[in-house]
Structure 1
Amino acid sequence: MIAADTAQPFLEYETQWGLVTRLVGQSLPWWPRALRRSDVISQWSPGAPVTLAEVLPDEKETTLRQAATVRWPDDAAKTALVDLANSLRNQDIDSLDSEIRIFAEHGGSPHGDPLLIAARHRTDGYPLPRTHDRDLPAAGWRAIASSQLFEAYEPMEIGMHYAADLLPYGPRTEVRLRGPAAGRWGQQLTACTPTAVHAVLAGDAHDVTFYTDRTTGIPIVRKGSSRDGTWLFLAPLQLEDQGAQLESVILEDTVWVQTTDGRIHPGPCTPDDHLWWGPGGGDRPTEAAWVISQLMDDISTRVSLADHWHHAPAGLTKLLNQTRGSGTELPRAVLEHARTQQVDGTS
């Protein structure tokens, strides 16, 4: 227990819950974190019934619900905002239930000194309804991401953290402008008016320019000068480059894919994964190996990284687990050969 003297509340000290319980001669009240508010605590007195109180929305939920009142061009945007707000509230309620259960069962002291749950949340109407059709909120987040409305910025920032799997993009990626692969890629990009997702990527940076990749549709922000600047973008989920094949892979800050039609792309990924190569601790670059293997079969496939440590070809994983200089290019023939190898290096 963290305690403080009411006369000098800035002076805190630690004591044992059970010790204070024995000194006052009765059970001590405890409030879960989400209900630890003066309006709730003031309702308690010895012998009083458990207080039933509402869990107040946090700043994220308030922002989402307020944004849902905006007149969006696409109704799916409102659905996406309300759905995420309800999801966050349900998660808060679940966390509160778990906290109460843990402290009710294991609170107090090992000697059995009791702990009194002084407040619980209202259960009427919970859990809040969720949208079961994944396509609808996904369409909503696409609309928000591409919006140029001022009101789209804050919900987009929240959505990139809590609804990443519904966005039409992969993980946040940053690469150096000076790299040869990144430089070639930059020549394929088109300058554009910033959208909500561009604004979130740019953050509080000042020297920025906004682009889009016409092939993959991903948003890109150029930060800083050509000498020490970076490309900041959300990786593509797939390379819709029909008719082309993977020609080579370039390892330069991220995995770059060069195709037979002369184009270059950042390697596609999934929202919760990353493409990594080189030796390091117990990690192995199975994500990159499995992505490359899928692209070798079909350049336009929407890559999956489920159980990548089981699916990644052992030879490709071994190839990518070696230390390599930035800009190393691995031709398709090298990749094909590695893909046929077993862990011990025999074909």
Structure 2
Amino acid sequence: MLGLDLAGCAAVLGVSGPQVQLWDSTGQFAAPRTGQGRHRRWWRTDLYRWAVTSPLHLADRVPLSHWPAATGPRPYLGARLIADSVALMWATPVGTMAVVWPVSGRRPAPRGYLSPLLRAWGVVGAATVAPGLDVGGPVVESLPMTPAQDAGSPLSWTELSALIGQPLPYWPLPLRREVLLTRWRPGQATVEALAGDPELDTDALLRMASLYKADHPAARLLVELARTVFRQEAESAGGEIDAVARAVGAGTTVVAARPMPVPAVDLDDVDEGTRRAGWWEILCRQDTLAEHCLLQMLKWDNGADCPFGHRFTVRAASPTVDEWIARLEPTTRSAAFRLLGEVDVDEETLRDPATDAPVVRRRDGDEIELRAAAPQRLRATSPLAEIILDHPIWVRTADGTLYPAPQGSYWGIGWGYPGFGPNCLALLIHRLLDDINARAADSVNGAPVGLQRLTRITMPRGTVLTREQLESARAGTWQPTRDDFPAGYED
């Protein structure tokens, strides 16, 4: 081990060289490990041991991993809110120590922001609890209280527990809520609480459900979604507690909160037709609660049962775009427009009568831009007649109606390259040839090889693929050639 000279000791402690020389000359400084005179050397561990117990009050300059273990339970000083976190504080023999728990669902404050706040409360040592586990238990990170303190100093859950001389309380991630953290006291029995996804506002879902009778599709959808969230988060919290129990040492941990048991449930317990009807009800509402609920539902599964999938933007004119624009109708703003992002007050809200899809028209410089949601299914009564490769891709039925091609909530569609988009387009074509009301592609697999080969070909924008061509491609008896596309073809 390489020793430190006086200048090195000053740097480690974050004090001036003259200050260390003064301590040394007055007999207040740590004894050197080796050497004499100018050749004296100090080991870092000895330096920390001296600093943390020195009457000069230098504990804030020593990483917690070098603090002495408590000989018995230390007094709990309570909890304080700090930058979307809760700091639990204890009185240790060398000063006040804080264990900072970020509240789930909130953005943790930068480490450099926490230290000055804690110091203002008299805290001289702190650690933060991070998500996840390591071989010794929950992950904890020592929080530097001074610029000179080593930010990378390792610290284990067992070491942290030893500093307070008693088991540390533990909350699984779904139960790291402000109210549970601040109400905890040493010796308190484990509490049961409803686990929930911190990123998803289930209270809003249940408030909206309360506006309907219990058997209404919207109520059934919202209640079942909330129950599904509670169930999955309860299972997650329970699994986390079990994993912690296997990882931590004896006497280091007390479970502060457990999830309340939730009956087995799944959103699929409500049939797809009811879920879709519930979505329609919420999309058509014009209140802010409906918009908020819509955002929560999108967070859950990206709108798997929503009538609309991917949104598309139209900036360049084409015959199909002009035909589509001509039929759009003005409409009042509803929750459905949240599918298109933020809608400014000066943007025009429109409706596509063929799909009921929301459309927003706005001016972008000298150009007009339209944002719209693609349907996940077509409400057509006539079979597929042709596919038009444009931006977006279009479907025309035998009765002449033009529709934006269905798109799912996850996979998009495209053509002209080997990838997910063309594979999804091939699957969509395969389904629409059999059933014009079929669901949008929900996988990159499942289409016949002939259709996959077709959609990977680089064909010019505006290419029209007839039903006969599509059926032949599906059967493997036709593929376009350069003669079909004088320009813009690439196999």
TM bucket (normalised to shorter chain) is: 0.7 to 0.9
User: Secondary structure in 2 aligned to 1:87?
Assistant: helix
Deviations 1:27-66 (A, max 9, x none): 5543322333565456353xx4652242466561122223
Specify the code of the residue in structure 2 equivalent to 1:7. V
**Superposition pairs for residues 255-274 of structure 1, below 5 Å?**
255-274=393-412
Aligned pairs (5 A) from 1:131-210:
132-134=269-271, 135-162=273-300, 164-167=303-306, 169-180=307-318, 181-210=320-349
Q: Deviations over 1:208-244 (max 9, x none)?
A: 2222222222222224359544332332233333235
- The CA distance in 2 between the partners of 1:212 and 1:192, in whole Å, is 6
Counterpart of 2:4 in structure 1 is none
TM-score by length of 1: 0.78
Size of the aligned set, in residue pairs, is 334
Whether the 8 Å contact between 2:413 and 2:420 is mirrored in structure 1 is no
Measured against aligned partners, the alpha-carbon deviations of 1:239-288 in whole angstroms (never above 9, x if no partner) come to 333235323x22223321133433321112333332232325x6462210
Which amino acid letter does the alignment assign opposite residue 317 of structure 1?
Answer: Q
Structure with bigger gyration radius: 2
SS in 2 for 1:7: strand
**Structure 1 residue aligned with 2:23:** none
Aligned residue number for residue 437 of structure 2: 301
Match of residue 100 from structure 1: 241
Q: Distance in 1 between matches of 2:363 and 2:185?
A: 57
Q: Does 1:30 pair with 2:207?
A: no
Cα displacement (A) at 1:71: 6.1
Is the Cα contact below 8 Å between 1:21 and 1:27 reproduced in 2? no
- TM-score calculated relative to the size of structure 2: 0.58
When residues 223 and 56 of structure 1 are mapped into structure 2, their CA distance, relative to the original with a 3 A threshold, is: farther
Change (3 A) 1:18 1:178: closer
Counterpart in 2 of 1:230? 369
Per-residue CA deviations over 1:288-339 (Å, capped at 9, x if unaligned) read 01211222344x2323646551x31212211211334443333444433422
- Structure 2: state its 5+ residue gaps: 1-64, 66-98, 101-114, 127-142, 146-150, 481-491
Query: Sequence identity, in percent?
Result: 23
After superposition, the Cα gap between the structure-2 partners of 1:120 and 1:165, relative to the gap in structure 1 and judged at 3 Å, is same
- Write the distance in 1 (CA, Å) between the matches of 2:234 and 2:161: 32
Measure the CA separation in 2 of the matches of 1:39 and 1:232. 42
Deviation string for 1:148-196 (max 9, x for gaps)? 23432211222233362332x1312212232413332111222222221
Distance 1:231 1:143 in 2: 25
* CA–CA separation in structure 2 for the residues paired with 1:182 and 1:71: 39
Counterpart amino acid of residue 330 in structure 1: L
Matched residue SS, 2:403: strand
Going from structure 1 to structure 2, the CA distance change for 1:263 and 1:16 (only over 3 Å counts) comes to same
Q: Distance in 1 between matches of 2:261 and 2:173?
A: 20
Q: What does 1:273-312 align with in structure 2 at a 5 Å threshold?
A: 273-280=411-418, 283=420, 285-298=422-435, 300-303=436-439, 305=441, 309=445, 311-312=446-447
Map of 2:226 onto structure 1: 85
Q: Separation in 2 of the partners of 1:226 and 1:297?
A: 43
Report which structure shows greater RCO (CA 8 Å, sep ≥6).
1
CA distance in 2, matches of 1:161, 1:149: 19
RMSD over aligned Cα atoms: 3.8
Which deviates the most, 95-104 or 120-129?
120-129
Gaps of 5+ in 1: none
